[in-house]
Structure 1
Amino acid sequence: MSTPVPTPPPQGRRTVAVAVLVSALAALALWAFAWPAARTAPRDLPLGVAGPARATAPLQAQLKEKDGAFEIHRYADEAEARDAIEDRTVYGAIVATPQGMRLLTATAASPVVAQLLEQAVAGQAPEGSRVTTTDVVSAPAADPRGAALGASVLPLAIAGVAAGAIVTLLGLRGIRAVTSLVLGAALVGAVAAALTHSWLGVLTGNWWAEAGVLSLSTLAVGATVAGCAALLGPAGIGVGALAMVLLGNPFSGVTSAPQLLPEPVGFLGQLLPPGAGGTLLRSVSFFDGARATAPLITLTVWGLLGLTAVLLGALRRPAPARDEAPTARETVPVP
């Protein structure tokens, strides 16, 4: 007769489950942060070519040989190329002139891309020739490498996650939860604009527009986390936090560019609030709102869906009714 194998005690199973979960989260974090960074390279990066067709044809042919690294946009002259850069249609442009090639960049759009274009054009230039580089839309002097702007994505995501978690843990529901999320996001946006624009000087656009973008970015994350918690319970906080911090932050492309991330990471990152918020912040701060419609819609949709989920969660799980206080005390006879 075989001896039955004893089952591990519940406490032991929990210990094993926690160890497995922690290792899985660590693997997910390493994959999300390290993999895109290790595979950074141009992929259909919008690049302009300007000048006479006869002068630019060989250059276009050379660029197309780079296995889909660049998405070439053709412009008649330097003025059109500059307009395209300021409109965020392209990250830069190569202008063919009788004196040689001239490179137009926009470090405000991405210092990493600007440096990459300088290296790529230098490699395409004839031996002994010099390539003149002009920064059409330059990054602010206080943040020439865009490090401060890139570093602002994670704190905003954390602030949004904290707002959604606090609203949930305090038991706020329905309209009260929505009001708290909106007011909290507005305050975060104002404080963030005061720090990044007024104090550090890393943002140079309209102060109120920047504060609005920072507020909307925080609200999109906070409402999503609170909405997940309202529908799924406390576990929804973890689901929302994982999506916004472990995926949204490394997939945002704010420190480089979405077109430098592996596919489809760059595309997916722009559909999440951190990526959309970073893109929108660049647009309103450095490019007078150019190409702001898509990220604005993305953030608005996330915010509305999250707030709707908060309201639906309150309807699905109504707050327990409080016991009514007794109107009169019962008298106990004394023996």
Structure 2
Amino acid sequence: MSATATRKTVAVMLLIPAVVAFALWAFAWPAARIAPRELPIAIAGPPAATAPLEQRLAAHPDAFDVHRYEDVAAARAAIEDRTVYGAIVATPTGPELLTATAASPVVAGLLREAVATQLPAGTAPRVTDVVAAPAADPRGAVLAAGLLPLALAGAASGIAVTVLGLRGARAAAALTGAAVLAGLVGAALADSWLGAFAGSWWAEAGVLALTVLAVGSTLAGLAALLGRPGLGLGAVLMILLGNPFSGISSAPELLPAPVGVLGQWLPPGAAGTALRSVAYFDGAGAGSAVLVLAVWAVAGLAAVLAGARRAAALNGEAAARSALAPAV
């Protein structure tokens, strides 16, 4: 066996376990450390009645970001605007809990447990689900399970454009067209067929399409600028980091720092937030997430066009040197 073949064999033997270890860390570590970290919740009611509730919450430092409201109507509005995940309302008969399973079934369950510990044994808290998940998908499983296929679809489009040798405007058109069709198909499956989404059909399709475009254009753009290694870098960002750091199966505020924040700056995390907003909250809270997706998509397409211009310039220089070679 040649020295080159030996080096390649050893590289494969070392690389695969390293990739496995990295993937297990990225997916398993955040899941194993789920806990509230500055989780936005509301407390509503007269100050005298809410003071004991606030003191109990303060016993868990940095766990909750408490928003205070005068009455239950204001607390409900904050939930519907996606300012908070839920609210504890002080009433003469005891605390009442407002949740939003559409925002996060995990957080809704966590809040129910937290309130239950403040009540006498055997007493269940009164719970009102302000924004409930659709009856066809009460646990939000479709949204959580659909994020990885979206990222994979985007990655596949970026890889296909690169492997097929499409460049410049043709590559941008292929990426955009694939994303639009993927968004329409995704909305048809998740909303029209499964009934897992309950918002504006076209808004859902738009977010799905923008997600696929953000991922696909990033991979294709990195490949256009860095060559084939750019595909690997894009896959690491979008699949190995973006998906587990998204918080889609729980909530970004339940992930360890700085994973929760970082995940929202990557397309999969932004996609999860935007999809929840348009599917269940009439678009409330979607602005920043859509902006993140748009920035990645525009930057990726710009990189695709820049890479094509650079390749054309390099080919032109090579042709000029080849033409001058006989005269030298």
Question: How much has 1:128 moved relative to structure 2?
Answer: 6.0
1:206 aligns with 2:200: yes
Whole-Å Cα distance in 2 between the matches of residues 293 and 125 of structure 1? Answer: 38
2:44–2:50 CA contact under 8 A, matched in 1:
yes
Q: Which has the higher helix share?
A: 2
Percentage of matched positions with identical amino acids? 62
Q: Secondary structure at 1:71's aligned position in 2?
A: strand
Q: How far apart, CA to CA, are the structure 1 residues paired with 2:200 and 2:287? A: 17
Displacement, 1:8? Answer: 7.2
| Amino acid in structure 1 at the alignment position of 2:158 | G
Contact 2:221 2:304 (C-alpha < 8 Å) held by counterparts: yes
Match of residue 258 from structure 2 = 264
Residue of structure 2 equivalent to 1:99:
93
What does the per-residue CA deviation read over 1:58-99, in whole Å, with 9 as the maximum and x for residues that have no partner?
Answer: 110110111211111000000000000000000000000011
Question: In 2, distance between residues paired with 1:101 and 1:126?
Answer: 12
Within 5 Å, which residues of 2 pair with 1:2-21? 9-21=3-15
- The one-letter code sitting in structure 2 at the alignment partner of 1:265 is V
How far does the alpha carbon of each residue in 1:226-270 deviate from its partner, in whole angstroms, 9 at most, with x for none?
A: 000000101111110111000000000011000000000000000
Q: Give secondary structure in 2 for the equivalent of 1:140.
A: coil
**Does 1:311 pair with 2:305?**
yes
Report the Cα distance in structure 2 between the residues aligned to 1:133 and 1:12, rounded to whole angstroms: 64
Q: Which amino acid aligns with 1:253?
A: G
Amino acid at match of 2:39: L
- Which aligned segments of 4 or more residues in structure 1 are displaced greater than 4 angstroms? 126-130
Question: What SS does the aligned partner of 1:251 have?
Answer: coil
1:61 corresponds to which letter in structure 2?
A: Q
What pairs up with 1:310-329 in 2 under 5 angstroms?
A: 310-318=304-312
Give the aligned residue type for 2:109. Q
Distance 2:2 2:50 in 1: 72
2:21 to 22, 27, 38: 27
**What is the identity, as a one-letter code, of the residue corresponding to 1:280?**
A
Amino acid paired to 2:274: L
The letter of the residue matching 1:69 is A
Q: Find the residue that maps to 1:202 and give its secondary structure.
A: coil
Residue 181 of structure 2 is aligned with which of 165, 178, 187? 187
Matches within 5 A, 1:155-194: 155-194=149-188
User: Which residues in structure 2 correspond to 1:183-332 (within 5 Å)?
Assistant: 183-318=177-312
Q: 2:106 aligns with which of 112, 115, 121?
A: 112
Q: In 2, distance between residues paired with 1:55 and 1:290?
A: 30
**In the alignment, is the contact (CA less than 8 A) between 1:100 and 1:129 conserved in 2?**
no
Q: Report if the CA contact (8 A) 2:116-2:123 is conserved.
A: no
Structure 1: distance between partners of 2:69 and 2:213: 40
Distance 1:69 1:120 in 2: 12
Please state how far the C-alpha of 1:292 moved relative to its aligned partner.
Answer: 1.0
Given residue 252 of structure 1, which amino acid in structure 2 is its aligned partner?
Answer: S
Distance, in Å, in 2 between the alignment partners of 1:154 and 1:212 is 17
Q: Structure 1 residues 45 and 21 mapped into 2: Cα distance closer, same or farther (>3 Å)?
A: same
Normalised to the residue count of structure 1, the TM-score between the two structures is 0.92
- Deviation per CA, 1:11-55, whole angstroms, max 9, x where unpaired? 011111111111111111000000000000010100100011001
SS in 2 for 1:61: helix
Alpha-carbon distance in 1 for matches of 2:122, 2:161: 64
Find the aligned partners of 2:254 and 2:122 in 1 and give their Cα distance: 30
What runs of 5+ residues in structure 1 fail to find an aligned partner? 1-6, 324-335
Per-residue CA distance 1:73-128 (angstroms, 9 max, x = gap): 00000000000000000000000001111000000000000000000110122456
Q: List gaps (5 residues or longer) in structure 2.
A: 320-328
1:140 Cα offset (Å): 0.6
Partner of 1:56: 50
1:101 maps to amino acid? P
TM-score, structure 2 length as denominator? 0.94
- Equivalent pair of 1:277/1:295 in contact (CA under 8 Å): yes
